[in-house]
Amino acid sequence: MIKVGVLGARGKVGTEVCRAVEAADDLELVAQIDVGDELDALVSSGAEAVVDFTHPDAVMDNLEFCIDHGIHAVVGTTGFDQQRLDTLRGWLENQPRTGVLIAPNFSIGAILMMRFATLAAPFYESVEVVEMHHPTKADAPSGTARRTAELIAAARREAGLGPVPDATSTGLEGARGATVDGIHVHGLRVRGMVAHQEVLFGGVGETLTIRHDSLDRVSFTPGVLAGLRAIADHPGLTVGLENFLHID
Amino acid sequence: MIKVGVLGARGKVGTEVCRAVEAADDLELVAQIDVGDELDALVSSGAEAVVDFTHPDAVMDNLEFCIDHGIHAVVGTTGFDQQRLDTLRGWLENQPRTGVLIAPNFSIGAILMMRFATLAAPFYESVEVVEMHHPTKADAPSGTARRTAELIAAARREAGLGPVPDATSTGLEGARGATVDGIHVHGLRVRGMVAHQEVLFGGVGETLTIRHDSLDRVSFTPGVLAGLRAIADHPGLTVGLENFLHID
Amino acid sequence: MIKVGVLGARGKVGTEVCRAVEAADDLELVAQIDVGDELDALVSSGAEAVVDFTHPDAVMDNLEFCIDHGIHAVVGTTGFDQQRLDTLRGWLENQPRTGVLIAPNFSIGAILMMRFATLAAPFYESVEVVEMHHPTKADAPSGTARRTAELIAAARREAGLGPVPDATSTGLEGARGATVDGIHVHGLRVRGMVAHQEVLFGGVGETLTIRHDSLDRVSFTPGVLAGLRAIADHPGLTVGLENFLHID
Amino acid sequence: MIKVGVLGARGKVGTEVCRAVEAADDLELVAQIDVGDELDALVSSGAEAVVDFTHPDAVMDNLEFCIDHGIHAVVGTTGFDQQRLDTLRGWLENQPRTGVLIAPNFSIGAILMMRFATLAAPFYESVEVVEMHHPTKADAPSGTARRTAELIAAARREAGLGPVPDATSTGLEGARGATVDGIHVHGLRVRGMVAHQEVLFGGVGETLTIRHDSLDRVSFTPGVLAGLRAIADHPGLTVGLENFLHID
């Protein structure tokens, strides 16, 4: 049983994390902390690891406290730049057995999709990325689609592949989507959809499609639990949950 | 048994048409005509109907001959404008029992897809069109995708629906595709693909997808045969195979 | 503004119906009734139409009351057999302007899918049905999949089509799914899925796919609202929401 | 330039191989051999590697000749059992620099699909396999679907996962497909389709789908060329093209 504290426990995401930790046989929820609560409760409750889904303004103080007390941290809060990561590394030097995981994406499906897209990229002449989201999303294409395209483009370059074939000479503006590092990316906005992405690879006579459908916001919780279970074995700073998954 | 002549019989498309007519139990291939052959063979062979996949330069002479001799015509040749259609109507006035079908698209699947998209359009807040073709295609989006978007837009207007919801405020140019009458259309170009289209409708909590996959150029032959079987019952000029199919 | 009462207002489904009625500009929620509440509140509140998602044991009393008072009813409660429908018809004879809609399925997407499948069936040699649901579902295949297969089989018979082609001579038991009226139906049970169905049609060189994805239980509410808006124009008993939608 | 000979050069598959070798910049087609031709032409033409798509009755003689003469072989002919593989290993001992690749499947897409399915399996509670083929196929499910299910089942066992969740208690026989090592596998037979497979993984709130579409028989040629390019670097016997692809 790993004793877990949740920071941001009353937020939308934190509430789901608390529920998932309580439902897991090998995890025990010992502290639920939100704005106004004292971090000392983490120590008094004996928390071995925390999950932090709070705010960029609060997360560094939280992590300094945790590292000082040798409590591992699995962090989904955003806003980490190079300077913040360096600060964390400095703090962790004094606590060589403590681990911090900073993850922009806890969806195991999204991580697998990006990994498989990278692995498949060298074998196919053509590739395009299509992401589909609810129509209240402000940005297009999605961050995951951009990241996927960058990973594919890098894998193609390394394999010595040239540009994707495209004979389009006439048409309507935007018909071929946006391009990210030379990869065409298309964003759909459809009521009823949540968060979906397809990567289509094509070669002579065949296509390979990798598709991830996130139908519910709780889809990130298995990734958080995977992080909690692995964090004690990964002291120091880790960026990206993919480093904890043994995908290869 | 309907006696059928094929004009353009040695072309790529004509060859497939000849093969399909020969394979059909209720059709008899009595004349195969191409550049340099005499049209009189249609009369001497007793052809009741012809299929014309020739060239814009040849098709009007072919049709004048057929109409003069009371031979029905199923025409896939391109290049018909309003003037040509009026000319055909004039010729047909003198032959009130003869039928001519001009069809830009003989794919029954594409016709059904467009029909269903039109029928579904009034019921959904969101809709987008995605077409996928081989990367040697010159235009984007495809003509079928444009036509589908126009039909959907008209059905939405008639139903009193406003613009599709889209909160995109930031992103990359082209990410949201091209717009045709306010409908977003996305064109993918992928090696290994032939001709594919998806229409995605979405409302609160659900989506409806209509997809057509054309995997082989022979996919147009069932539509040509359907045209041959129905043409005798449709004297005069008909534009569009959908008028022969009882879809409703 | 149509004044609406909801019976079963505190149930899971009823709660969503109340929410949807309140959110609609042209509907007013005037009564929320559940076990223990008096039906008289429908009269005193001036309800013109009710939605009933209650229980087979309660629904007939509810409907007798509504019909007696000239209140239209849109009913999603299950358990209607021929005898119950006949009873309703008898009651409605005395109230010739009152309408009752009994609908086993309020999902507009599912209704459109079944309608399109019926329309497409005569044009394709092959067809199969695949349904996908969460793994806690007790029956396989789903009722909607069975109904879809029956509709397709009937449409094929009417069009004079024979059995679907299938050369399978060796294999594992169950590999080709269940058959309903000669149509192969496959049921998948996958964690994370909600309720999804695909109908695949195939002919020479092409396929046509109609897919419905229900991602959230609220997907039935647009159908309920459509029923409420149309019920006053459909006096007497109607079975099936499809009769209110102008799909053709 | 690798000098290539093709055995079975006038067969359907061999013809495509010849065409693909001729079209490749780094390969030279120096010998086309079929029934009745002398194998000596391989030596006189200077062939460095051969492709063998012949017959189980002919392939062992072909391979003995090639190994004797230090010619590498890429083999798609079927019928290799343990005894034949042992015989090949014996012959190769005397030619330590010669390589033979025996591959039941040259489709890179199918190989990637199986590999990704194996990698994803440990992360998902649910998984099902759906294969779709033309209706003249004799066996169901396909060999690739069976193999995929076996690989997934092994990966689940290794990860300590139990049986897939399935609450089905009532239904029609066959509705849940066949089971291979506890994995549900569904086979569809649809006119117009060629060879397609989908692997669907599902966990709480999300699904991951890996799909391979083979639309044309030429889809195996890139795998054959990949085999030819790598064979000189893999002396001895290799079974399975996946060993030549650097997928991880």
Contact (CB, 8 A) for B102 and B80: yes
**pLDDT of A247 higher than 90:** no
Residue range A13-51, pLDDT digits in tens: 999 999 999 999 999 999 999 999 999 999 999 999 999
Residue of C3, C69, C72, C133 marked catalytic: C133
Quickly state the pLDDT bin for D184 (edges 50, 70, 90).
very high
User: What's the mean per-residue pLDDT of chain D?
Assistant: 96
User: How many cross-chain Cβ pairs, B to D, lie less than 8 Å apart?
Assistant: 13
Q: What is the pLDDT of residue A217?
A: 80
Cα separation, A114 vs A127, in Å, equals 13
The partner residue sitting opposite D123, judged by closest CB among A108, A217, A219, is A108
Distance from CA of D39 to the nearest CA of C (A): 38
Paired sense of beta strands A178-180 and A183-189, if any: antiparallel
Q: What is the pLDDT of residue C247?
A: 76
- Tokens found for residue C173: 């038991």
Map tokens 């909607």 to a residue: C144
Cα separation, A160 vs A162, in Å, equals 7
Q: pLDDT > 70: what percent of chain C?
A: 100
Cα separation, D92 vs D64, in Å, equals 9
**pLDDT of A174 higher than 70:** yes
Q: What is the pLDDT of residue C104?
A: 87
Residue range A133-169, pLDDT digits in tens: 999 999 999 999 999 999 999 999 999 999 999 999 9
Cα separation, B206 vs C216, in Å, equals 7
User: What number is the average pLDDT over the span B98-119?
Assistant: 96
CB contact under 8 A, A109 and D247: no
Task: Tell me the C-alpha to C-alpha distance, in Å, between residue A161 and each of A123, A164, D111.
Answer: 9, 8, 20
Q: What is the pLDDT of residue D247?
A: 76
Q: Which pairs from C25-28 meet CB under 8 Å and 24+ separation? A: C26/C1, C26/C2, C26/C229, C27/C1, C27/C2, C27/C225, C27/C228, C27/C229, C28/C1, C28/C2, C28/C3, C28/C4
Q: What is the pLDDT of residue C81?
A: 94
Cα separation, C185 vs C177, in Å, equals 6
Quickly state the pLDDT bin for D218 (edges 50, 70, 90).
confident
Active site residue B184: no
Quickly state the pLDDT bin for B37 (edges 50, 70, 90).
very high
The partner residue sitting opposite A186, judged by closest CB among B169, B177, B203, is B177
Q: pLDDT > 90: what percent of chain A?
A: 95
User: What number is the average pLDDT over the span D84-111?
Assistant: 96
Task: Tell me the C-alpha to C-alpha distance, in Å, between residue B8 and each of B33, B222, B241, C229, C234.
Answer: 6, 18, 20, 56, 55
What are the residue ranges of helices labelled H in chain B?
A: 12-23, 40-44, 56-68, 82-93, 108-120, 143-158, 221-230
Best residue of C130, C161, C207, C208 to probe chain B, by most B CBs closer than 10 Å: C208
Q: Which chains touch C (3 or more CB pairs under 8 A)?
A: A, B, D
User: What's the mean per-residue pLDDT of chain B?
Assistant: 96
Report residue C118 CA to chain centroid gap: 16
Map tokens 């060189």 to a residue: C205
Quickly state the pLDDT bin for B30 (edges 50, 70, 90).
very high
* Closest listed residue to residue B100, CA positions, set B125, B77, B127, B117: B77
Active site residue B133: yes
Cα separation, A46 vs C86, in Å, equals 67
- DSSP 8-class letter at B121: G
User: What number is the average pLDDT over the span A105-113?
Assistant: 95
> What string of H, E and C letters represents the secondary structure of A80-116?
CCHHHHHHHHHHHHCCCCCEEEECCCCCHHHHHHHHH
Map tokens 């046989």 to a residue: A25
Q: What is the pLDDT of residue A172?
A: 96
Cα separation, B174 vs A25, in Å, equals 47
Closest chain D CA to residue C172: D178
Quickly state the pLDDT bin for C245 (edges 50, 70, 90).
confident
Phi, psi of C120 (to 5 degrees): -80, -25
Q: What is the pLDDT of residue A244?
A: 92
**pLDDT of B135 higher than 70:** yes
Residue of B3, B55, B69, B137 marked catalytic: B137
What interface predicted TM-score (ipTM) does this complex get?
0.88
| C229-C230-C233-C237 Cα dihedral, nearest 10 degrees | -120
Contact (CB, 8 A) for D20 and D217: no
Q: What is the pLDDT of residue C231?
A: 97
User: How many cross-chain Cβ pairs, B to C, lie less than 8 Å apart?
Assistant: 117
CB contact under 8 A, C215 and A215: yes
CB contact under 8 A, D189 and C184: yes
Cα separation, B130 vs B177, in Å, equals 9
Helix (H, G, I), strand (E, B) or coil at A69: coil
Q: Which pairs from B142-148 meet CB under 8 Å and 24+ separation? A: B142/B187, B142/B195, B142/B197, B143/B104, B144/B105, B144/B110, B144/B114, B144/B195, B144/B197, B145/B180, B145/B185, B145/B187, B145/B197, B146/B180, B146/B185, B147/B114, B148/B113, B148/B114, B148/B117, B148/B197, B148/B199
Task: Tell me the C-alpha to C-alpha distance, in Å, between residue D117 and each of C36, D104, D127, D199.
Answer: 54, 18, 9, 7
Cα separation, C147 vs C185, in Å, equals 11
Global pTM reads 0.91
Task: Tell me the C-alpha to C-alpha distance, in Å, between residue D225 and each of C29, C34, D88, D238.
Answer: 69, 70, 22, 16
Contact (CB, 8 A) for B229 and B2: yes
Cα separation, B202 vs C214, in Å, equals 10
CB contact under 8 A, B187 and A176: yes
Strand partners, B73: B50, B100
Cα separation, B127 vs D31, in Å, equals 55
Cα separation, A53 vs A227, in Å, equals 13
| D217-D220-D221-D227 Cα dihedral, nearest 10 degrees | -160
Residues in chain C: 248
Q: What is the pLDDT of residue B247?
A: 76
Q: pLDDT > 90: what percent of chain D?
A: 95
Q: What is the pLDDT of residue A158?
A: 96
Q: What is the pLDDT of residue B218?
A: 87
- DSSP 8-class letter at C164: P
Task: Tell me the C-alpha to C-alpha distance, in Å, between residue A26 and each of A2, A225, B214.
Answer: 6, 10, 51
**pLDDT of B248 higher than 80:** no
Instruction: Consult the annotation and say whether D76 binds a ligand.
Output: yes
The partner residue sitting opposite D212, judged by closest CB among A208, A222, A245, is A208
Taking CA D185 as the corner, what is the angle to CA D182 and CA D188, rounded to the nearest 5 degrees?
A: 165
Residue range C96-151, pLDDT digits in tens: 999 999 998 899 999 999 999 999 999 999 999 999 999 999 999 999 999 999 99
Contact (CB, 8 A) for B222 and C161: no
User: What number is the average pLDDT over the span D32-54?
Assistant: 96
Residue range A47-58, pLDDT digits in tens: 999 999 999 999
Q: What angle, rounded to 10 degrees, do the helices at A12-23 and A221-230 form?
A: 60
Distance from CA of C86 to the nearest CA of D (A): 29
Q: What is the pLDDT of residue C112?
A: 97
CB count within 10 Å of CB A135 equals: 18
Contact (CB, 8 A) for B227 and B74: yes
Paired sense of beta strands C195-203 and C126-133, if any: antiparallel
- Tokens found for residue B157: 């207007």
- CA atoms B189, B191, B194, B197: torsion sign: negative
**pLDDT of A70 higher than 70:** yes
User: What's the mean per-residue pLDDT of chain C?
Assistant: 96
Report, in angstroms and rounded to the nearest whole number, the Rg of chain B calculated over CA atoms. 20
Task: Tell me the C-alpha to C-alpha distance, in Å, between residue D248 and each of A144, B244, D17, D242.
Answer: 22, 54, 28, 11
Instruction: Consult the annotation and say whether A240 binds a ligand.
Output: no
Cα separation, D131 vs C175, in Å, equals 10
- CA atoms D131, D136, D139, D143: torsion sign: negative
Taking CA B119 as the corner, what is the angle to CA B113 and CA B121, rounded to the nearest 5 degrees?
A: 95
Residue range D118-142, pLDDT digits in tens: 999 999 999 999 999 999 999 999 9
**pLDDT of D248 higher than 80:** no
| C152-C158-C161-C163 Cα dihedral, nearest 10 degrees | 50
User: What number is the average pLDDT over the span D170-178?
Assistant: 96
CB count within 10 Å of CB C15 equals: 15
> What burial class does residue D247 get, using C-beta atoms within 10 Å of its C-beta: 0-12 exposed, 13-18 middle, 19+ buried?
middle
Q: What is the pLDDT of residue C248?
A: 66
User: What number is the average pLDDT over the span B177-188?
Assistant: 98
